[in-house]
Structure 1
């Protein structure tokens, strides 16, 4: 197995070590490997390929110490064909929530979520994806 070096804040490393101990992992490497497998597998659902999808992405960030809001604006404009709707809301005294409604393919939505996740200083990124055609008219039971 290849050994790699990864930089991360001390707080995250402490959380990984605690998670490893609490859940019976052999060590932090096992936790990181499983997290990487899960992340890479998120958008590999064969049932969603070649279908028109709707995605909802929420992003939470601290507006006082970051430029995340500016990055969200750039992503919204860069992907204007994908972003059907966008909502910005203030949460508490220091936070903002950005919500994106997307309409596109699995590859387009995956790419958009990846760019948001790669944005420095986001606190949380959450999303869901559903096929648009699942909302079609119900078949006539007669």
Structure 2
């Protein structure tokens, strides 16, 4: 582990201390490590360099939309190596919510997530991708 020292203006240091408390960190070092990890992960996602990630894909759709349920299930079966699980919730008499968990190579996971959201009839969707390190090397 390496040590380094940084200097912050008083106002910025006070804001950082408040942020640390709001987020429940025990110390500045843990907070800085998480911020650095987060920025590095964000950059790797932006540059499509994620070797492995997990993602939650949350979307709402109208189950009366012709063949949509079948198309979504087909998408998941076609990519069964990426799809871990899907939770299906009935919101009302016509709308359903699904949460699909994916894992695998970053480019493949993000492509599958976008394909699910892009299906005709999906009303709203959101993807949350988290880099997960070299899982495939440990569990191949």
Q: TM-score range by the shorter chain?
A: 0.5 to 0.7
Q: Which runs of 5+ in 1 are unaligned?
A: 1-41, 135-142
Match of 2:54 in 1: 54
Within 2, Cα distance between the matches of 1:89 and 1:46? 31
Judging changes above 3 Å, is the alpha-carbon distance between structure 1 residues 71 and 53 closer, same or farther for their aligned structure 2 residues? same
Tell me, yes or no, if the aligned pair for 1:49 and 1:105 is still in contact at 8 Å: no
- State the 4+ residue runs in structure 1 displaced beyond 6 angstroms: none
Give, in whole Å, the separation in 1 of the partners of 2:43 and 2:97: 23
Kindly state the Cα deviation for residue 73 of structure 1 after the two structures are TM-superposed. Answer: 0.5
Distance across 1 between alignment mates of 2:56 and 2:87? 11
- Give matches, 1:1-142, under 5 Å: 45-46=45-46, 49-133=49-133
Q: Hey, what does 1:7 align to over in structure 2?
A: none
Structure with max Cα Rg: 2
Aligned residue pairs, count = 93
Which structure 2 residue ranges, 5 or more long, are not aligned? 1-41, 135-140
Distance 1:73 1:43, change over 3 A: farther
The one-character-per-residue Cα deviations of 1:79-104 (angstroms, maximum 9, x if unpaired) are 00000111111112211111110111
Q: Provide, for residues 49-95 of structure 1, a one-character-per-residue CA deviation record: whole Å limited to 9, x for no partner.
A: 24310000011111123322111110110000000111111112211
- Write the distance in 2 (CA, Å) between the matches of 1:56 and 1:68: 20
CA contact (8 A) 1:43 1:110 kept: no
TM-score (norm 1): 0.57
In structure 2, distance between residues paired with 1:95 and 1:66: 13
SS state at 2:61 partner: strand
